[in-house]
Amino acid sequence: MISSLAGAKSLSRTVMGSRRLFSVSSTNLQSSFNDKDSTTDHGSASSQDRDLQPQRRSAFGLNRVELIGHLARDPRINTDKNGSEWCSFVLYTNTTFKRKDGTTNTQTQVHDVTVHGYQAEHVKNNIRKGARVFVLGSISYFEKELGETKVKGARINAERVLPIAKSTGSQQLTDFD
């Protein structure tokens, strides 16, 4: 193995910041240049030559959303064709920023969130309107027809919904213990 060679310096080439194109030991590199015949009888590359080839990696994508906000209403429970329950709720998030003149401005964003599996059961039983929650998931976009018009929207597919504070009967928020 390349990493088990003692005292060998490792050469690496990076592409796009954190993507490693190839990594070889300088000892391996030197010995492969000294080898005049680096292929076998069948024309295939030796293991040293294979170490010098760029490592092919699949394209890496990331679709991750993290939100902290308040539920606008109680979660709605739905059932799919297979009889599995899932729930949806509306989450309000606020972004506050300061203008050049010193005044502050708050923008409220509205997010449609869906939850499936055991997390849907947890949300259904434990989270109510006004609760402050942390949502971790991914975003998806959809298009549907309402009458003659097409409506585009976005939906947060939650993997985790964690309560931060719950609402009481007077709609005041209390911290969880």
Distance CA 24, CA 12 (A): 7
Q: Which of 58-67, 71-80, 119-128, 152-161 has the lowest mean pLDDT?
A: 58-67
- Could you count the other beta carbons within 10 Å of the beta carbon of residue 21? 13
Count of C-beta atoms within a 10 Å radius of residue 4: 7
Q: Give the whole-angstrom CA distance, residue 137 versus residue 88.
A: 13
**d(C-alpha 133, C-alpha 70), whole Å:** 6
Which segments of the chain belong to CATH 2.40.50.140?
65-175
Interatomic CA distance for residues 116 and 113, integer angstroms: 10
CA distances in angstroms from 28 to 9, 52, 129, listed in the order given: 10, 9, 63
Angle ∠(110,66,159) on CA atoms, nearest 5: 100
Contact 104, 98 (CB under 8 A): yes
Q: Check whether 104 has a pLDDT greater than 90.
A: yes
For the segment 46-69, the average pLDDT, to the nearest whole number, is 75
Q: How far apart are CA 40 and CA 63, in angstroms?
A: 45
Residue-wise pLDDT for 162-172, tens only, equals: 999 876 654 44
Is 70 exceeded by the pLDDT of residue 147?
Answer: yes
Residue 68, pLDDT > 50, answer yes
Query: Which pLDDT belongs to residue 168?
Result: 61
Q: Which of 9-18, 25-34, 109-118 has the lowest mean pLDDT?
A: 9-18
The answer, yes or no, to whether residue 26 has pLDDT greater than 60, is no
Residue 136 pLDDT grade (very low, low, confident, very high; cuts 50, 70, 90): very high
pLDDT of residue 146: 86
d(CA 2, CA 28): 8
Written out in words, the top-level CATH class of the domain with range 65-175 is mainly beta
